[in-house]
Structure 1
Amino acid sequence: MAPCTASLLALSLLVLWTSPALGGANDAEDCCLSVTQRPIPGNIVRAFHYLLLKDGCRVPAVVFTTMRGHQLCAPPDQPWVGRIIRRLQKITPKASLALSPPQ
């Protein structure tokens, strides 16, 4: 009886731990798994948005969308990331709307 109870308890904990609704985790497709430390050329970027820890992501990131529609994850605390964001805000009024983290 004890092995059955232990197995049931372990299974229940696994389900609770991996459940996005209960664990507070975001869908993996909505979060960056890593960020690039290599600067991205600012002239290929057309938009950006934030994915932060408070959004349920494990890696805080600024997601840049390129002219070709690719999404690149960058660390929000790097100076080159800030320069790209400021440039986008100057040339595109819509880019400044991306300042607030996605809902």
Structure 2
Amino acid sequence: MALRILLPLLLLAAALLLLPAEGVDNVASDCCLKTSRKTIPSAWVKSYRIQGPESGCLLRAVVFTTKKEKKICSSLTSPAVQKLIRSLEEKQKTPPQKPQGRSKRQKRKQA
């Protein structure tokens, strides 16, 4: 008699463990699990994003993307990281300057 009650409960528990929870994406696969202490040259970095609980990650960190599409995780509290973030934000504010005037090649063709 106890087996009749226990068996369906065990099957239900196993099913719940094996099925993924609804509405939960696997965002943790893109989360930093640790941060680097090395200084990152600003010339390498093209962008950054901040990860934390609001993005589904346990560790609060800055994820820098290099020009070679590599991801580097850094501590948000590091002064060097804060400086690099400010530098990237300044670059985004100022539009890239266009060369003024004609190039040497254009000048030669005209002459």
TM-score normalised by L of structure 2: 0.64
Residues 5-27 of structure 1: CA deviation (Å, up to 9, x unaligned): 23422441x246x53625xx652
Relative contact order higher in (CA < 8 Å, ≥ 6 apart):
1
Q: Select the structure of larger CA radius of gyration.
A: 2
CA pair 20-53 structure 1, distance change in 2 beyond 3 A? farther
Question: Where has structure 1 moved over 3 Å in runs of 4 or more?
Answer: none
| CA displacement at 1:72 relative to structure 2 | 1.0
**Gaps in structure 2 of 5+ consecutive residues:** 95-111
**CA RMSD of superposed structures (Å):** 2.5
Q: Distance in 2 between matches of 1:5 and 1:20?
A: 21
Superposition pairs of residues 15-34 of structure 1, within 5 angstroms: 15=18, 19=21, 21-22=23-24, 26-34=26-34
Q: Which runs of 5+ in 1 are unaligned?
A: 95-103
Query: Which structure carries more helix by proportion?
Result: 1
TM-score (normalised: structure 1):
0.68
Aligned residue pairs: how many? Answer: 90
Q: Are the counterparts in 2 of residues 26 and 55 from structure 1 also a CA contact under 8 Å?
A: no
Q: Is structure 2 residue 76 aligned with structure 1 residue 72?
A: no
